[in-house]
């Protein structure tokens, strides 16, 4: 039973929530880069405010732009991971796979990439050669070519070795639109493999925790799994998101809000490796918030869930893909978790940043 | 996963839930406070309340160590962080806690050298590696973390690392619980005692709660089955008309605590005559400071801390919310002056605090949430 006074308070909160995003901070803090609430506020209040246009406004991982008769997918991403080299990959793999994946998430076939390097004075050329080699191999594996680029050098201490920016162009060859706003009650939610490997690997690679493990980053291109998924389910695929910063939890919250639906996640169905679970338990972090660099969240028509799962599992390293939840109508814009313990909890967007600079 | 899964078994949870329901007298309601923030986290993360009957409610207590640090102490710490040639070190959870004007994260963005550490010994290592800088460790927490700070200070003294000091904000749990018990309009039927604090202080210090205030207390572990079993033990005491201190977490907590840790604590620290708690006001003898013998490693003596006092707005009613007297929405500043972006009291600082949780999710009733997740 809610009283009149409580109703008043709830209405006031709802009004405050709908108000235009405003950055309260006077300066940029690390939280603005974490992919959570602060990042969203910054993007909406500063960038969307300045650049507003219909192609940008959906704030998807990429823009789909009309060009002649074709539809081009266009995206960019910068990479500042620390350390530069970690088990399973390095900043070069990330820079190619991350941008390829942002293109793939709208169902585009990735074609061309640019590569920009900001180098710190004193950075070993051998390391740069190694990064470039990784980028070439990753581009080959993803079927894209790096066709243009840029190099800048800044004084020692003004950067941390090397930062890489990549932009990518792809072509959308199907006629429908994928997007976070397309989820409908009755849809199924899948993940393409175990979650949290990349973020945990990078954190352990920093050596601050003194934990050893065989864990490796999951960095991988997702264009092939997406093609398989679209071939199997066609327009039944509603939305694809790679679960990078903020992890699966943040992606699901974006989908729930954009589609005005609730997502119910079955915790026991979410694939998490024991190494990731163990590290997360020790540090008090939820694996659902840990970044992946080669895993995606898939929302499909519930009737196509089994074919979507089969398509994902047919892919290399897709054997642990799983149906992890479903979309329901109410309570709209919320992500709920059925816990392994038999309870429920609300899964909020990420606040703060448990693991800075993981990509 | 071993040592984890056996304490999270859903079937055992349902069996315990049935026994809990069986112990509840019809028509009576029960309110238990979990004193420790770690318990609040477990309760929230695993959805433990879904296993409880409607007439059993859990009240979230004052035991979140970062949330109880008053704004003035955060401002003092920021003053230290801004001193020339100074490195401030702290646990990650301290970074977002707002002071009067700024948080650690803001000060870091302005150029202060603030570093996150996982242990005070990491801070000591930084001091060893940076002998030309003054390294301060922002020490926070209850008796759980205080012994590791004490040992670090002992080690700094032994190594004569005179560039290392501690800004001591350690608090003690008993006075906070007593402040809640002394509330004239207290509506609690018992306590889940803080498991980790008890590994250090043991179970004896809680006996007055049962003896003088007539409230049972069960020292509880941090896995979800620990919490359910502790609630079961509390209800059994009430049903049998007993009132005592019990130890559910015996696999970790010795009845007499950890004498070695207590000795280190007594060697390095002493009680402060008074300390301000965010939301609860000033509580006498509720916090620890560094003893004179270790003055060289006490940031308050080394630097001359300004001793900023930022009064909680008088309208903040955190204390009442903590005691279970007021619901979050009944507080005068809730949702207007006090929001998750601009928190005033402890209940809004932590995302799991009663007020922050209500602000974010209050519009969704538990019934709606349960309906949605039903298969």
Read off the CATH number of the domain in which A231 is found: 3.90.650.10
Domain that holds residue A293: 180-346
* CA–CA min distance B271, chain A (Å): 30
From residue B300, give the alpha-carbon distance in Å to each of B73, B169, B290, B292: 11, 11, 9, 11
- Which residues between 295 and 314 in chain B have a beta carbon less than 8 angstroms from any beta carbon of chain A? none
Examine the domain organization and report whether A192 and A322 are in the same domain: yes
* CA–CA min distance B310, chain A (Å): 20
Examine the domain organization and report whether A190 and A82 are in the same domain: no
Q: How far apart are CA B9 and CA B4, in angstroms?
A: 9
User: Is A42 contained in some domain?
Assistant: no
- Write the residue in B51, B118, B372 that is nearest to A264 by C-beta: B372
Q: Which two tokens stand for residue A16?
A: 């405050």
Q: Give residue limits of the domains in chain B.
A: 1-311, 318-373
With beta carbons less than 8 A apart as the criterion, state whether A171 and A73 touch: yes
Helix (H, G, I), strand (E, B) or coil at A144: coil
- Give the angle subtended at the CA of B125 by the CAs of B122 and B128, to the nearest 5°: 160
| ipTM attached to this prediction | 0.84
Q: Do A284 and B336 touch (CB under 8 A)?
A: no
Does the structure show a pLDDT above 90 at B40?
no
Does the structure show a pLDDT above 60 at B68?
yes
- Which residues between 268 and 297 in chain B have a beta carbon less than 8 angstroms from any beta carbon of chain A? none
Examine the domain organization and report whether A163 and A213 are in the same domain: no
Examine the domain organization and report whether A155 and A190 are in the same domain: no
User: Is A12 contained in some domain?
Assistant: no
Does the structure show a pLDDT above 90 at B208?
yes
Does the structure show a pLDDT above 80 at A357?
no
Examine the domain organization and report whether A243 and A148 are in the same domain: no
- N residues, chain A: 359
B371 at A interface, C-beta within 8 A: yes
Angle separating helix axes B10-23 and B224-240, nearest 10 degrees? 20
Examine the domain organization and report whether A110 and A204 are in the same domain: no
Mean pLDDT of chain A: 92
Q: Do B370 and A348 touch (CB under 8 A)?
A: no
Per CATH, the homologous superfamily of domain B1-311 is HypD, alpha/beta domain 2 (3.40.50.11740)
Residue B89 burial (10 A CB sphere; 0-12, 13-18, 19+) = buried
User: Is A109 contained in some domain?
Assistant: yes
Residues in A closer than 8 angstroms to B351, CB to CB, are 348, 351
Does the structure show a pLDDT above 70 at B180?
yes
Alpha-helical (H) ranges within A206-314 are 223-233, 247-259, 274-283, 305-313
Alpha-helical (H) ranges within chain B are 10-23, 37-46, 71-81, 104-109, 120-129, 146-158, 173-181, 195-201, 207-211, 224-240, 259-268, 299, 318-322, 346-349, 354-361, 366-373
Examine the domain organization and report whether A125 and A254 are in the same domain: no
Contacts of B85 (CB under 8 A, 6+ apart): B132, B133, B134
Does the structure show a pLDDT above 70 at B319?
yes
Examine the domain organization and report whether A87 and A208 are in the same domain: no
Q: How far apart are CA B343 and CA A326, in angstroms?
A: 34
- Specify the pairing of strand A109-120 against strand A162-171: antiparallel
Q: How many residue pairs bridge chain A and chain B with CB atoms within 8 Å of each other? A: 115
**Number of domains composing chain A:** 2
Residues in B closer than 8 angstroms to A7, CB to CB, are none
B18 at A interface, C-beta within 8 A: no
Examine the domain organization and report whether A73 and A153 are in the same domain: yes
Does the structure show a pLDDT above 80 at B289?
yes
Helix (H, G, I), strand (E, B) or coil at B14: helix
Residues in A closer than 8 angstroms to B145, CB to CB, are none
pTM of the model: 0.89
Q: Which residues of A lie inside 8 Å of B (Cβ-Cβ)?
A: 5-6, 9-10, 12-14, 16, 24-31, 208-209, 262, 264, 274, 277-278, 281, 284, 286, 328, 330-331, 334, 336-346, 348, 351-352, 354
Helix (H, G, I), strand (E, B) or coil at A280: helix
Examine the domain organization and report whether A229 and A337 are in the same domain: yes
Examine the domain organization and report whether A238 and A314 are in the same domain: yes
Mean pLDDT of chain B: 90
Residue of B42, B93, B105 to mutate when probing chain A, most A C-beta within 10 A: B105
Q: Do B372 and A208 touch (CB under 8 A)?
A: no
Q: How far apart are CA A308 and CA A2, in angstroms?
A: 43
With beta carbons less than 8 A apart as the criterion, state whether A285 and A357 touch: no
Q: Do A341 and B329 touch (CB under 8 A)?
A: no
- Specify the pairing of strand A85-86 against strand A89-90: antiparallel
pLDDT at res. B75: 93
Examine the domain organization and report whether A155 and A266 are in the same domain: no
Does the structure show a pLDDT above 80 at A33?
yes
Find the range with the poorest average confidence among A1-15, A154-168, A186-200. A1-15
pLDDT tens-place string over residues A306-338:
999 999 999 988 999 999 999 999 888 899 999
Q: Do A27 and B224 touch (CB under 8 A)?
A: no
pLDDT at res. A23: 81
- The rounded percent of chain B whose pLDDT value lies above 90 is 60
With beta carbons less than 8 A apart as the criterion, state whether B35 and B173 touch: yes
- Which residues between 84 and 123 in chain B have a beta carbon less than 8 angstroms from any beta carbon of chain A? 92, 95-96, 105-106, 108-110, 118, 122
């Amino acid at each position: 039973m809610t009283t009149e006074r409580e109703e008043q308070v709830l209405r006031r909160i709802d009004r405050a929530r709908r108000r235009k995003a405003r950055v309260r901070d006077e300066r940029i803090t690390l939280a603005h880069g974490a992919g959570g609430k602060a990042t969203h506020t910054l993007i909406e209040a500063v960038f969307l405010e300045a650049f507003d246009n219909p192609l940008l406004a959906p704030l998807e991982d990429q823009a789909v732009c009309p060009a002649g008769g074709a539809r081009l997918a266009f995206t960019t991403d910068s990479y500042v991971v620390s350390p530069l080299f970690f088990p399973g990959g390095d900043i070069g793999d990330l820079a190619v796979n991350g941008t390829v994946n942002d293109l793939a998430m709208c169902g585009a076939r990735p074609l061309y990439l640019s590569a920009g390097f900001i180098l710190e004075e004193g950075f070993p050329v051998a390391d740069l050669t190694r990064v470039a080699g990784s980028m070439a191999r990753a581009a080959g594996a993803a079927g894209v070519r790096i066709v243009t680029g840029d190099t800048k050098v800044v004084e020692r201490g003004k950067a941390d070795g090397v930062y890489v920016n990549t932009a990518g162009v792809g072509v959308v060859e199907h006629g429908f639109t994928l997007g976070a706003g397309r989820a409908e009650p009755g849809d199924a939610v899948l993940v393409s493999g175990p979650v949290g490997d990349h973020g945990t690997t990078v954190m352990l690679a920093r050596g601050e925790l003194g934990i050893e493990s065989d864990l490796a980053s999951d960095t991988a291109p997702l264009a092939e799994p997406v093609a398989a998924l679209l071939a199997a389910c066609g327009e039944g695929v509603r939305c694809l998101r790679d679960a990078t910063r903020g992890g699966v939890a943040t992606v699901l919250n974006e989908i729930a809000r954009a589609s005005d639906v609730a997502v119910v996640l079955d915790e026991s169905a979410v694939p998490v490796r024991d190494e990731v679970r163990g590290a997360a338990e020790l540090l008090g972090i939820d694996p659902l918030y840990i970044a992946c660099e080669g895993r995606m969240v898939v929302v499909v028509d519930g009737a196509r869930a089994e074919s979507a799962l089969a398509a994902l599992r047919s892919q290399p390293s897709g054997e642990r893909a799983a149906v992890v939840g479903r979309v329901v109508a109410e309570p709209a814009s919320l992500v709920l978790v059925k816990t392994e313990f038999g309870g429920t909890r609300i899964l909020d967007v990420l606040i703060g940043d448990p693991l800075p600079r993981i990509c | 996963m071993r040592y984890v899964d056996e304490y999270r078994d859903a079937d055992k949870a349902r069996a315990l839930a049935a026994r809990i329901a069986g112990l509840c007298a019809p028509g009576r309601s029960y309110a238990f406070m979990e004193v420790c923030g770690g318990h609040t986290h477990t309760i929230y993360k695993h959805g433990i309340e879904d296993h409880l009957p409607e007439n059993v409610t859990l009240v979230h207590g004052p035991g979140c160590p970062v949330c109880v640090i008053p704004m003035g102490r955060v401002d003092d710490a920021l003053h230290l962080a801004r001193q020339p040639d100074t490195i401030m070190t702290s646990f990650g959870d301290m970074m977002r806690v707002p002071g009067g004007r700024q948080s650690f994260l803001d000060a870091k963005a302005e150029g202060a050298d603030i570093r996150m550490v996982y242990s005070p010994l990491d801070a000591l290592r930084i001091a060893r590696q940076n002998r030309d800088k003054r390294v301060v460790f922002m020490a926070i927490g209850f008796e759980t973390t205080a012994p590791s700070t004490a040992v670090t200070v002992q080690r700094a003294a032994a190594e004569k690392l005179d560039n290392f000091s501690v800004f001591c904000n350690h608090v003690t749990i008993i006075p906070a619980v007593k402040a809640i018990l002394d509330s004239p309009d207290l509506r609690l039927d018992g306590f889940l005692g803080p498991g980790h604090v008890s590994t250090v202080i043991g179970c004896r210090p809680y006996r007055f709660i049962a003896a003088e205030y007539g409230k049972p207390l069960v020292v509880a572990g941090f896995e979800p089955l620990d919490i359910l079993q502790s609630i079961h033990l509390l209800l059994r005491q009430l049903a049998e008309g007993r009132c005592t201190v019990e130890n559910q977490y015996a696999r970790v907590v010795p009845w007499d605590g950890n004498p070695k840790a207590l000795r280190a604590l007594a060697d390095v620290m002493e009680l402060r005559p008074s300390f301000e708690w965010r939301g609860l006001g000033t509580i006498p003898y509720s916090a620890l400071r560094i003893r004179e013998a270790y003055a060289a490693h006490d940031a308050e003596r080394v630097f001359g801390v300004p001793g900023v006092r930022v009064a909680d707005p008088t309208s903040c009613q955190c204390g009442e919310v903590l005691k279970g007297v007021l619901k979050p929405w009944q507080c005068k500043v809730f949702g207007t002056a006090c929001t998750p972006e601009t928190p005033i009291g402890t209940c809004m600082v932590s995302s799991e605090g009663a007020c922050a949780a209500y602000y974010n999710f209050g519009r969704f009733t538990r019934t709606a949430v349960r309906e949605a997740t039903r298969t």
